[in-house]
Amino acid sequence: TFAGMQGATSVVFNPSDETIGYLTNTNNEIIRFSPIIWDLVPDVLPITQAENITFNGLARIRYSSINTNYGSKVCVADTNNNRVVRFLTTADGKDPLTNSLAVNASSPIDMAFTLNNLITLSNADSKVSVHRITSDTSTHLMDFGKAGNGAGEFNSPISVYFNDKDLFILEATRLQVIRSGQDDWLK
């Protein structure tokens, strides 16, 4: 371990540049570190805000393993500011944390990526939201779910993940799979 990992809440690695990892912590910072030297990236300060708004309640940070059509690879759930901050990929792909755009979302704790959509998960109201994303805009398409234990109801949701045509929602006591039959999960 290293000093910057104290209070870590989420971690992600850049699969195309294995020299960079990102973590969020209880100080509402995004910290870059090197898995090669297992320490902070020298001379790089933590990121504490995006679009002139200080982070408040950073939850999950994710790196998209798919090439989205909207040019974001790294996203972070900024829960108490009701947004997901998506960082736009730079031309060289080396530092994707320089340009950011926000997606309005109700108390997001996690997010998943499809080719054209960003899917957010809220623990506050037990809903999943689907947003159509372009390189510079986002449009809210729909919400679904509510608190409960039935199909399509979520009890203390923890995480959301998209793979192929399936959406996985992890809850405190179960895992739900929602099959859409669509390559991009929602057409």
Contacting residues for 141 by C-beta, under 8 A, at least 6 apart: 117, 130, 131, 132, 186
Q: Which residues pair with 124 in a beta bridge?
A: none
Cα gap 70→138, rounded to integer Å: 10
- Of the candidates 41, 38, 44, 84, the one whose C-alpha atom is nearest the C-alpha of residue 64 is 84
Which tens digit of pLDDT belongs to each residue from 53-102?
999 999 999 887 666 666 667 889 999 999 999 887 666 655 567 788 89
| Structure-block tokens of residue 179 | 């099959």
| Predicted pLDDT of residue 147 | 93
| Predicted pLDDT of residue 134 | 81
Confidence band of 130 (pLDDT split at 50, 70, 90): very high
Confidence band of 182 (pLDDT split at 50, 70, 90): confident
Cβ contact 35:19 at 8 Å = yes
Cα gap 176→106, rounded to integer Å: 21
Bigger pLDDT: 106 vs 66: 106
Produce one character per residue of 52-78: b if its CB has 16 or more CB atoms within 10 Å, e if not: eeebebbbbbbbbeeebebbbbbbbbb
DSSP letters, 8-44, are EEEEEE-TT-TT-EEEEETTS-EEEEETTTTEEPTT-
Q: Write down the residue that tokens 């104290």 correspond to.
A: 6
Q: What is the mean pLDDT of residues 106-127?
A: 91
Which tens digit of pLDDT belongs to each residue from 15-51?
666 677 888 999 999 988 887 777 777 778 888 999 8
| Structure-block tokens of residue 76 | 């972070």
